[in-house]
Amino acid sequence: MSDDDKPIAKFLRLQNGDDVIAETIEMEDEDGIVYTLCHPLKVVYMPTETTGYLSVMFMPWVFPKICDEQIFTIHAEDVLLMTDVSEKMNIYYWDSVRTYTEKSEVSNSESEPQEEIEMTEEEEFELYTKIMEKLGSKRTMH
């Protein structure tokens, strides 16, 4: 499937403050409207040293070691806003999904040891924690 054939991912800002990008399917159940998020990636904002602007990185919303299937259902009440991502962000999202899927398959395989992956999930989590601590004092809650 080429990048042009990939569905447009959605950007969601959740009630808990998470910013998530995912392939999103809207459905209705007995509790009302729910969204199924396929391969959700949490958006991490990282200040750049040189320009002072924020760059965007992704990390798994729920790490694959916690659950293999990366499909989750959330209620509409948990979503503050939702919109289609830009074309460039959609390409970046699908490239990231492919990268994380490949990393998960490598770590789950029982074959010969593979070439070391750039950053382990624990290192990614540590980096994310440090970033959130740095931004914690600068963030405003709305």
Domain count, the chain: 1
Q: For residue 65, is it within any domain?
A: yes
Q: Which domain holds residue 63?
A: 3-106+117-135
Establish if 142 belongs to a structural domain: no
Instruction: Summarize the confidence of residues 105-127 as an average pLDDT.
Output: 58
For residue 3, give the DSSP letter: G
Amino acid code (one letter) for 9? A
Both structure tokens of 96: 């990231």
Residue 23 lies in a domain: yes
Whole-angstrom distance, CA of residue 43 vs CA of residue 14? 12
CB 61 within 8 A of CB 125: no
User: What are the strands, taking DSSP E only, across 15-75?
Assistant: 19-29, 32-47, 54-60, 71-75
- Whether the full predicted model's pTM is greater than 0.85, yes or no, is no
Q: What is the DSSP letter of 141?
A: -
User: 63: pLDDT confidence band, cut at 50, 70 and 90?
Assistant: confident
Q: What is the pLDDT of residues 2-19, one digit of tens each?
A: 556 789 999 999 999 999
The yes-or-no verdict on residue 21 having pLDDT over 90 is yes
Query: CATH no. for residue 24?
Result: 2.30.30.100
Structural tokens at position 29: 């159940």
Would residue 12 count as lying in a domain? yes
